[in-house]
Amino acid sequence: MKRSFKRTLVFLCMASLAASGLAAEIPRLVSKDGRHALMVDGAPFLMLGGQAHNSSNYPAALKPLWAAIRDAGANTVEVPVAWEQVEPTEGHFDFSFVDTLVKEARQNKVRLVLLWFGTWKNTNASYSPEWVKFNNQRFPRMLDKDGKVFYCLSPFGEETLKADRKAFVELMKHIRQIDERDRTVIMVQVENEVGTYGLVRDYGARAQAAFAQPVPASVLAHKQPPVPGAASGSWSEVYGPYAEEYFHAWAIASYIEEIAKAGRAVYDLPMYVNNALRDPLEPMAPWKNNFGSGGPTFDVIDIYKAAAPHIEFAAPDIYSPEWAKVTATLDKFQRADNPLMVPEIGNAEGYARYAWLIIGRGALGYSPFGLDYADYSNFPLGSKLKDKAMVAPFAAVYKVFAPMQRQWAKWAFEGRTYGVSESEERTPQTIEMKGWKATVSFREWQMGEKHFWPDMKDLPPGTDAPNGGAAIAQIGDSEFIIAGQHARVKISGSGPNEGKSSMYARVEEGSFDASGKWVMERNWNGDQTDYGLNLPARPVVLKVRLGTY
């Protein structure tokens, strides 16, 4: 078949598909060789996200949200949908906010991730309807060891589960109805930061009976005991001092599974849970009131896998800015059976550099919390600022990824991408790639090497706090896309190229156009490459080819 004829045929097919009003492919997660892609409209998608403030889930509050999202250049917005708002009276549903949200998201040309604030929001019942909140008889709260009512709704509340599930199913039906063709909504978070603070588990009658039962086979198959225990038997026999936390995780995950399963049965979008983290650097030990017990903390991801197969992944909400903690958390959540996605990270400037690391590592998405001009500052967990200056550091990163978002997601799925962000120690970091390694250093002047001027005290302006990072995609044997800022990247031979002399063939600065074609602006050479590739404060994208001699 002649090429032009083939092209015409493809065009005609696509035109008739559009004319027929057929739906775009439903978003889904695919995994291969331990890597993952979020498929949107049939191709890998990189979520450059922003999360709304909690109370921005009303039509009037959307205007300042859209303004921030536009300034950020985000392609996806995460917005709560609250049970209290969609079912204020039992059995009477009102999805008018969802309608407005979806319509305005389309006008703003962004996708949506909906956050279902149901039984649990940051562990408590605040977003459940009033008819749930204050009816402990029908919707029981957890009981402590003395039988005292605790703040958190019990995961053993049969009526609570039934009611939450019903509302969630109605929501999913509604989304299917209004969005099956456009697929503006690409994912759903089920509940928000579940778990319980201050109590390891429920001691109500149903919970007590379940705790005495043998550990389910699926949990035994997924979760090894951290300390020697029985191969099977009760929770205490198998998991010893970890039994209560694990049991609570299983109870909450099983509850969420029922909701996710029923929701996906009516409209099968990818679903996930988010997590208020436990300290990833603390030596592993049983719960001692140091994190929300039963939430999908890294130590119980296996239990969530066992109990909630309709949940695709557990995702970390990152509010500790230290590099060692961030990297340890990412290591623990990025697994062959658990795609990495960061649905929340602080919106303070210091968190922007982690976009290079997180996107570079092949995450499905990255989303600062409070990318929203609502009159609310999340300091000290986030920025003191509430205006363009808060958004600017994230916008700068998104600006370079946005034009290559689809390529990047594909490269990540193929295992070609790497990421680095500057630590508080400012020490260089090395990335091992195929046949090459990259050394990324920080606080370098663009000219020369530090040892040329051992007595020099001057430091590059704008580097008082760590803010550097780089993301690299190896797109060929000796070819790379390098994006980043405030960093120096040097590439040298490794593995089969170890010890070989090499030099740059081309170092093109440019960008990808809408069709995915590379557009070169200029070629870097001379001073701009003699001392490594010095990525300035303004993020740049380089297409780099090397050769050996």
Residue with smaller CB distance to ligand DGJ, 367 or 497: 367
Residue with smaller CB distance to ligand DGJ, 122 or 196: 122
- Give every strand in the sheet of 35-40, ordered side by side: 28-32, 35-40, 43-45
Q: Please give the Cα distance from 485 to 477 (Å, whole number).
A: 24
Which are the contacts of 283, defined by CB distance < 8 A and separation ≥ 6?
A: none
Residue with smaller CB distance to ligand DGJ, 347 or 478: 347
**393-422 positions binding ligand DGJ, by CB under 6 A:** none
Q: Please give the Cα distance from 198 to 175 (Å, whole number).
A: 36
**Please, what is the minimum distance in Å from the beta carbon of residue 192 to ligand DGJ?**
5
- 21: phi > 0 → left, psi -120 to 50 → alpha, else beta; which? left
**Please, what is the minimum distance in Å from the beta carbon of residue 308 to ligand DGJ?**
18
358, 366 Cβ separation under 8 angstroms: yes
Binder to ligand DGJ among 193, 244, 245, 422 (CB under 6 A)?
193
324, 423 Cβ separation under 8 angstroms: yes
Q: Does 378 engage in binding with ligand DGJ (CB under 6 A)? A: yes
Q: Does 78 engage in binding with ligand DGJ (CB under 6 A)? A: no
**94-113 positions binding ligand DGJ, by CB under 6 A:** none
Q: Please give the Cα distance from 193 to 54 (Å, whole number).
A: 13
Q: Please give the Cα distance from 150 to 196 (Å, whole number).
A: 10
Residue with smaller CB distance to ligand DGJ, 334 or 378: 378
Residue with smaller CB distance to ligand DGJ, 344 or 372: 344
Q: Please give the Cα distance from 252 to 269 (Å, whole number).
A: 21
Per-residue binding letters, 356-375, with ligand DGJ (x by CB under 6 A)? -------------x------
**Please, what is the minimum distance in Å from the beta carbon of residue 528 to ligand DGJ?**
41
Partners of 500 in the beta sheet?
none
97, 81 Cβ separation under 8 angstroms: yes
Residue with smaller CB distance to ligand DGJ, 51 or 497: 51
**Please, what is the minimum distance in Å from the beta carbon of residue 405 to ligand DGJ?**
25
Residue with smaller CB distance to ligand DGJ, 299 or 317: 317
Cα distances (angstroms) measured from residue 337 to each of 309, 361, 374, 468: 11, 15, 37, 30
Residue with smaller CB distance to ligand DGJ, 275 or 485: 275
Q: Please give the Cα distance from 525 to 78 (Å, whole number).
A: 42
353, 422 Cβ separation under 8 angstroms: yes
Q: Please give the Cα distance from 86 to 94 (Å, whole number).
A: 5
Q: Does 192 engage in binding with ligand DGJ (CB under 6 A)? A: yes
Q: Does 189 engage in binding with ligand DGJ (CB under 6 A)? A: no
H/E run at residue 330: helix 323-333
Q: Does 297 engage in binding with ligand DGJ (CB under 6 A)? A: no
Q: Does 344 engage in binding with ligand DGJ (CB under 6 A)? A: yes
Partners of 317 in the beta sheet?
276, 344
Binder to ligand DGJ among 87, 257, 317, 372 (CB under 6 A)?
317
**Please, what is the minimum distance in Å from the beta carbon of residue 337 to ligand DGJ?**
23
Binder to ligand DGJ among 37, 39, 50, 54 (CB under 6 A)?
54
- Identify the residue whose tokens are 């429920």: 202
**Please, what is the minimum distance in Å from the beta carbon of residue 116 to ligand DGJ?**
12
Residue with smaller CB distance to ligand DGJ, 230 or 381: 381
Q: Which amino acid is at 514?
A: A
**Please, what is the minimum distance in Å from the beta carbon of residue 122 to ligand DGJ?**
5
Helix runs in 213-322, H state only = 217-222, 235-239, 243-266, 301-307
**Please, what is the minimum distance in Å from the beta carbon of residue 72 to ligand DGJ?**
18
Residue with smaller CB distance to ligand DGJ, 84 or 444: 84
Residue with smaller CB distance to ligand DGJ, 263 or 292: 292
486, 463 Cβ separation under 8 angstroms: yes
Q: Does 123 engage in binding with ligand DGJ (CB under 6 A)? A: no
Binder to ligand DGJ among 56, 85, 119, 122 (CB under 6 A)?
122
Q: Which chain residues interact with ligand DGJ by CB under 6 A?
A: 54, 122, 192-193, 317, 344, 369, 378, 381
